[in-house]
């Protein structure tokens, strides 16, 4: 009997403008997971473009998020995700049974100087590392069961 094929978990990061926090988190998780996780981001009120200071702060880490585009949050995105991380969007994010939800209380980098955005970026990096470790631990636990 063959083992079931593993499915790639999907993580959705949500913030109001989808121009800073959620894009930084998505950039980190995509880079740190090496493609083992499907990473998405969206916003309840998406901006027209990324926060240039967030882009600069991520570039300092060697992560290019310039191709990312702020996207409107849709219920289908939440439904299709295994983990939904909100970052200050309040109750605008739809809730579906069976999904893992976390709310990360992070300052908004909009209008902040680079030094403050670096602090926010570093907080996001630490949280993403913890999330990735947890997801990999859960996946490894599933793989070892017969």
Q: Is position 75 annotated as part of the catalytic site?
A: no
Q: Which of 87, 93, 124, 132 is catalytic?
A: 93
Q: Is position 141 annotated as part of the catalytic site?
A: no
Distance CA 134, CA 19 (A): 26
CA distances from 117 to 59, 94, 111, 145 (A): 12, 28, 9, 42
Q: Which of 29, 55, 85, 89 is catalytic?
A: 89
Nearest to 86 by CA among 108, 118, 63: 108
Q: Is position 34 annotated as part of the catalytic site?
A: no
Cβ–Cβ under 8 Å, residues 14 and 41: yes
Distance CA 125, CA 48 (A): 24
Distance CA 130, CA 114 (A): 24
Q: Which of 15, 30, 50, 135 is catalytic?
A: 15
Supply the residues annotated as catalytic.
15, 89, 93
């Amino acid at each position: 009997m063959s083992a079931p094929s593993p499915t790639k978990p999907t993580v959705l990061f949500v913030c109001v403008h989808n121009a800073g926090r959620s894009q930084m988190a998505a950039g980190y998780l995509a880079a740190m997971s090496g493609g083992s996780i499907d990473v998405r981001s969206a916003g309840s009120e998406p901006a027209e473009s990324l926060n240039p200071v967030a882009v600069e702060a991520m570039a300092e880490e060697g992560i290019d998020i310039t191709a990312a585009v702020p996207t409107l949050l849709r219920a289908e995105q939440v439904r299709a995700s295994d983990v939904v991380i909100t970052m200050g969007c309040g109750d605008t994010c739809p809730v579906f049974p069976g999904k893992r939800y976390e709310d990360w209380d992070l300052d908004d980098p909009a209008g902040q100087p680079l030094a403050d955005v670096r602090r926010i970026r570093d907080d996001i990096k630490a949280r993403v590392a913890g999330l990735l470790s947890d997801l990999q631990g859960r996946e490894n636990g599933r793989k070892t069961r017969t």
